[in-house]
Structure 1
């Protein structure tokens, strides 16, 4: 009798696993991702089950403290789709001019998308840029259509054009920066970028926000060379409440300006705060300051 029950148990587990395995590719096939790509006018970067679409504000010429800000430094809007609840969840961060905020927001709301934050990341930038965080659940194609129609209320480029020339080389000692920050960075559009993961799992509406980089919950650090070994830096620290002031103190002690502190989401666990920063100085010196701030967080190395 015990053997019979054991056999039934194994059979049931195997059957469940088979059905689960069958469900996952079926979902991937049911979601018309090609139609999503066509609607958004671009191909995504795919990481695990997340599809992230970039909307850089390549149409803007933004300057800050004499530095012309490259899109990859601080003007890289994005939306990410992740399978969830029989459809998809979408999260994003859109870069907008002041005059574009309300027209885009009105379209988002009319389509049933949520606005989870609107704020600055930079100070003294000309023209000033603002960042609208959005979220939604449902059919991926309908979500993509809603995002496209909302962005059409701005001057965000909705078609991809090939760059006139390859991006400039990142003229920094990137190997040394890797060692100081503690993770491997990567070049993107003339900017050297780091994604530093937190050690604690992060969820939204019970869904794990993984992979953390594409879902916007990794600590982001960007270096844009400004000549002579110097770099402009910006990005955002992803922090729990008890980490906020230790990180502020560490950044300011190393000559790095804190430019914004706010939330990006509404229902994440643990509750997170996002701290943006700016400096233009010797890249190695700034990396050491950023490392001192990272040491105040539950972040990973390597």
Structure 2
């Protein structure tokens, strides 16, 4: 046992020595997945489920709750958009510091923004962004990014109380019919984008990871898709091999304008550019986009833009 302990200390000393000569070793990032796994065991997730009135999608130690605006009929350039396309609000809970870190993106009508915000503030939550994602949508939709730290049940209650100020459905009902098939060459889309997509509610979705670690308030945001820091790309078929697309690129400052140029060169609009968080590292910008054209053509344009970023492929 003594030799084992000394061996570990020796390894640690080597790492610290390496750090002293200019290499960086993030002990917190290294240990966080193990610590978070232990914390996840202590959260009473059933109580959170009961407060929010739904079951989450679970990825590693993150529980992500969807709040789609299935109550809304929103059209964009004559296309009725599906909730999974651009109306899928969500809140993710990740165990942290004896409680949870919560992050979310809620879909609201203009008249709902301030009542929901007032309740969020009263419940001790932070507002980290309010903005559009789309252009020309009717009715216009706005997106409120929220964050919180602490007791998961109290945070869940604050979120539910705030959403009660909107018409966001607070109870879930099973779909009356299966979602339509995605009438696109999804195998070719996968090949072009360089990732495996998945069908969700009649929409074909991609989540493309960045190659660099992302932290918020010194917490490693993993898995990146569940925590909202992967580039999101959505295809909704519009007939004849065409698709409406939307989503957002996750970018560092130096990537912003090369991506804008690449998207515009391929006929894809940039519809919004903004932040989603307050204390992330590296500093990130989220660029939303839109178009309705041949799906393969649009995928090639998105790939050209991804090539301007530090994004994973495959």
Superposition TM-score tier, normalisation by shorter sequence: over 0.9
Q: Deviations over 1:71-127 (max 9, x none)?
A: 000000000000111110000000000000000000000111000000000011000
Shift of residue 300, structure 1, vs aligned partner: 0.8
Task: Give 2:122's match in structure 1, choosing from 110, 118, 133.
Answer: 110
- 3-state SS of 1:168 partner: coil
Is residue 2:94 matched to residue 1:97?
Answer: no
Pick one of 176, 182, 199 that aligns with 2:211: 199
Q: Which residue of 1 aligns with 2:14?
A: none
Match of 1:83 in 2: 95
User: Which structure 1 residue ranges, 4+ long, deviate > 4 Å from structure 2?
Assistant: 7-12, 20-26
1:150 aligns with 2:147: no
Structure 1 partner of 2:21? none
Q: What is the RMSD computed on CA atoms of the aligned residues?
A: 1.9
User: Alpha carbons of 1:7 and 1:174: their partners in 2 closer, same or farther (altered >3 Å)?
Assistant: closer
- Report the 3-state secondary structure (helix = DSSP H, G, I; strand = E; otherwise coil) of the residue aligned with 2:135: coil
Instruction: Name the SS for the 1:247 alignment partner.
Output: helix
Q: Residue 182 of structure 2 aligns to a residue in which SS?
A: coil
Pick from 288, 301, 306 the counterpart of residue 276 of structure 1.
288
Match in the other structure for 1:121: 133
Q: How big is the shift at 1:24?
A: 6.2
Pick from 222, 234, 246: which aligns with 2:246? 234
Counterparts of residues 134-283 of structure 1 (less than 5 Å): 134-283=146-295
Structure 2 partner of 1:32: 44
Please list the CA deviations of residues 240-290 of structure 1 after superposition, one character each: whole Å capped at 9, or x if unmatched: 000000000000000001000000000000000000001000000000000
Change (3 A) 1:26 1:184: closer
Q: Distance in 1 between matches of 2:113 and 2:184?
A: 36
Deviation at 1:32, TM superposition (A): 1.2
Secondary structure, counterpart of 1:187 in structure 2: strand
- Note closer, same or farther for the CA distance 1:253–1:23 as it changes in structure 2 (3 Å cut): closer
Between the aligned partners of 1:24 and 1:272, the Cα distance in structure 2 is 24
CA change 1:206–1:226 in 2 (3 A) is: same
Q: Which residue among 57, 82, 96 is the counterpart of 1:45?
A: 57
Q: How does 1:60-71 map to 2 (within 5 A)?
A: 60-71=72-83
CA drift of 1:31 comes to 1.4
Displacement, 1:26?
Answer: 5.8
Q: Structure 2 stretches of 5 or more lacking a match? A: 10-31
SS of residue in 1 equivalent to 2:137: coil
Distance 1:22 1:275, change over 3 A: closer
Which of 3, 7, 10 is residue 6 of structure 1 equivalent to?
Answer: 3
8 Å contact 2:39–2:96 — kept in the other structure?
no
Q: CA deviation at 1:6?
A: 2.7
Residues in 1 aligned to 2:2 and 2:175: alpha-carbon distance in whole angstroms: 65
Report the 3-state secondary structure (helix = DSSP H, G, I; strand = E; otherwise coil) of the residue aligned with 1:193: strand
- How far the C-alpha of 1:30 sits from its partner, in A, is 2.9
Deviations 1:46-87 (A, max 9, x none): 000000000000000000100001000000000000011111
Deviation per residue, 1:123-167 (Å, 9 max, x gap): 110000000000000011111000000000000000001111000
